[in-house]
Amino acid sequence: MSSSVKCKFRKEEVNKTLWEIPLRYASLRLVGSGAYGSVCSAIDLKTGEKVAIKKLSRPFQSEIFAKRAFRELILLKHMNHENVIGLLNVFTSATSFNDFHNFYLVMPYMQIDLQKIMGHHLSEDKVQYLVYQMLCGLKYIHAAGIIHRDLKPGNLAVNEDCELKAKKYIQSLPKIPKKEFPLLFPNASDLGKLSTHDKRFGEIEDAVSQEETIDSLSRIDSLEKQTQELKLKLDDLENRSRRNNLRFINIPDSYQNDSLYALISKTIPLKLGLPQECYNVKIERLHRIGPPKILHPMRPRAVIVKYLDYCDKNRLFQAYKKTTYTRSGRK
């Protein structure tokens, strides 16, 4: 972790907020802000990688704010999994306890979240890969005895390589047996103020004190709903099986056991009335096989009129009676 003694800091104003960061972090750009702080992207000159730096909003304003900041720091520090956001660095410019008013968290930078890409068409392979990563991250979190209480697409970060990481541990709470809850949290009535949705203590206590199996199943159920939403973004033909695809284009059942290429290779010569020896010819050469094409004796204009219905024929005939045409133009 960074030390205020070993590194030099610089001051920079971002979105009317003063940031004090080490010189190793350059190109500070605001990514987003919320009730608990602001996040900026930056380039780590030491590693050359792009990182996300979070400045907590008044972390020591009250005991509640301090507990929230401490919980987020501890959770990020101990999360070490490729599908879970972890902590890369933490620093402060303070040199004494009395000056210690802010600190910054450095995390891996992820371009967007899952909510922003769900409006686009996703291939089935990408959906499977995203769901697999969600399950891996969720399993790791549960194995650590943590419940992510705000699991949703907006809290699942994704980068350009389709790599996914779970984030927003401010809503995470440990799995605690009901009988141990009052002992570990004697002032637990304040926990209701920590929730994004401003839940009361009774709701928080009931949720936290549930059996571990029920809590885990509820997280899986939430994940299953997100998976279903992702699948709805697939194209119709990608969702159908091969048999259903063939039925969709009205292919006879007798051909459904053949490959689609073999099916077309047999069907086209049959429909064109070509001899049997043409069946094994590549489709690209079918236009060169068979007797020469016989031109229709009727003129193009007569062919067009032939396919007009009665109303169109009558309208065309009435227009013809009113005027005559020559090669040079209208008379």
Give the 3-state secondary structure of 69-134. Answer: HHHHHHHHHHCCECCECCCCEEECCCCCCCCCCCCEEEEECCCEEHHHHCCCCCCHHHHHHHHHHH
Binding residues: 55
- DSSP assigned state of 87: -
- DSSP line for 55-67: EESSTTSSHHHHH
Give CA–CA dist 108/238, Å, rounded: 34
Q: Please list, in sequence order, all residues whose beta carbon lies within 8 angstroms of the beta carbon of residue 329, skipping any fewer than 6 positions away.
A: none
Give CA–CA dist 44/63, Å, rounded: 33
In terms of Cα–Cα distance, which of 12, 56, 11, 60 is closest to 34? 56
Pull the structure tokens for residue 139.
């399993």
Phi and psi based region of residue 104 (left: phi greater than 0; alpha: psi -120 to 50; beta: remaining): beta
- DSSP assigned state of 81: B
Give CA–CA dist 7/21, Å, rounded: 10
Rg (CA), the chain: 34
Give CA–CA dist 211/176, Å, rounded: 9
Alpha helices in 273-331 (DSSP H): 300-306, 310-322
Amino acid at position 222, single letter? S
Binding residues for ATP: 55
